Amino acid sequence: MRIVRFVSGRQPRYGVVEGAVVREVEGDIFGKFIVTDRTHSLKRIRFLAPTEPSKIVGVGLNYRDHVDEMKLHTPDEPIIFLKPPSATLPHRGRITYPKVCGRLDYEAELGIVIKRTARAVPVGKAHRYILGYVCFNDVTARDLQRKDGQWTRAKSFDTFAPFGPWIETDLDLSDAPIRALLNGVIRQESNINNLIFEVPYLIHFVSTVMTLYPGDVITTGTPSGVSPMRPGDTIEIEVEGIGRLSNSVVAES
Ligand code: MG
């Protein structure tokens, strides 16, 4: 099932995507809800970021090829960092290229959307805490990441957390190709099954550090092939089985 958040009559709503149609839902997508007969054209809706997370937890260096590309060592535990909720951006939103940034990179990632409050979740029970999956672009000011020696500024500008286009509740993690397309050209291509630390372990690991709430997102790291974007570019993050998240890049005015 594909759960989309969108604007209708100025109200944020949730719906379920069925082909070219969005059917509104009533109730709580994290709990009980029903799918109504009120429909919208998928082509015509204005997308919102799929959730309003209390936090976004990033995972660094979680694909071996990306570790090699960055000339770093494979970590023995996940390297985690935070992106603020103020950075979220929906499908078709514009990524702002900050004036202070000298190199702005895309990072194609699989995002996990948390379903229920999670604290110290055992690996074997992690699946119960997952609502679904999103395409995530962990936009990074690479020069500032290197300059600062820690990642907060580089990962946190407004618009640096595009995710969507919707939440896919059913995804086969054993085989899901992931790619980034810059202006239609494939620049990153890998598979979710190449993750060093897998989805259940990440939920366990992160939830032993901090309580996760419904709508929070863990973004699982990027494969090799990261490179810069420029104003005017279109960047798309695709995970087969979810869909394709598309955003344009604009200069800060
Ligand atoms: Mg990343």
199-221-129 Cα angle (round to 5): 30
Average pLDDT in the 70-83 region? 92
- Residue 210 Cα to ligand 1 midpoint, Å, equals 19
pLDDT in tens, 103-150: 999 999 999 999 999 999 999 999 999 999 999 999 999 999 999 999
How does residue 187 score in pLDDT terms, banded at 50, 70 and 90? very high
Residue 21 CA to ligand 1 center (angstroms) comes to 32
> Which residues place a Cβ less than 5 A from the ion ligand 1?
107, 138, 222
Rounded to 10 degrees, the C-alpha dihedral 91/57/157/6 comes to 30
Q: If you average pLDDT over residues 181-205, what whole number do you get? A: 97
Residue 224 confidence (pLDDT) above 90: yes
Both tokens of 249, joined, read 């890049």
Give me the pLDDT at residue 169, please.
Answer: 98
Distance 39 CA to ligand 1 centre (A): 36
Please tell me the predicted confidence (pLDDT) of residue 69: 83
As a whole number, mean pLDDT of residues 79-98 equals 98
With a threshold of 0.85, does the pTM exceed it? Answer: yes
Distance from residue 189's CA to the centre of ligand 1 (Å): 15
Please compute the mean of the pLDDT values over residues 173-177 and round it to a whole number: 97
The predicted pLDDT at position 51 comes to: 98
Q: Take residue 235 and report the two structure tokens written for it.
A: 């960047």
Q: pLDDT (tens digit, 9 = 90+) per residue, 234-244?
A: 999 999 999 99
Confidence (pLDDT) at 197: 97
Lowest-pLDDT choice from 55-59, 83-87, 157-161, 223-227: 223-227
% of the chain beyond a pLDDT of 70 = 100
Q: From ligand 1's centre to the CA of 71, what distance in Å?
A: 15
**Residue 66's pLDDT is what?**
84
Instruction: Return the minimum-mean-pLDDT range out of 45-54, 71-80, 96-105, 138-147.
Output: 71-80
Residue 30 clears pLDDT 90, i.e. is over it: yes
- Give one DSSP letter per residue of the chain, joined into a string: -EEEEEEETTEEEEEEEETTEEEEEEE-TTS-EEEEEEEEEGGGPEE--S---S-EEEEES-BHHHHHHTT-PPPSS-EEEEE-GGGEE-TTPEEEE-TT-S-EE--EEEEEEE-S-BSS--GGGGGGGEEEEEEEE--EEHHHHHHHSSSHHHHHSTT-EEEEEEEES---TTS-EEEEEETTEEEEEEEGGGBSS-HHHHHHHHHHHS-B-TT-EEE----S---EE-TT-EEEEEETTTEEEEEEEEE--
Give mean pLDDT, residues 226-235. 97
* pLDDT exceeds 90 at position 75: no
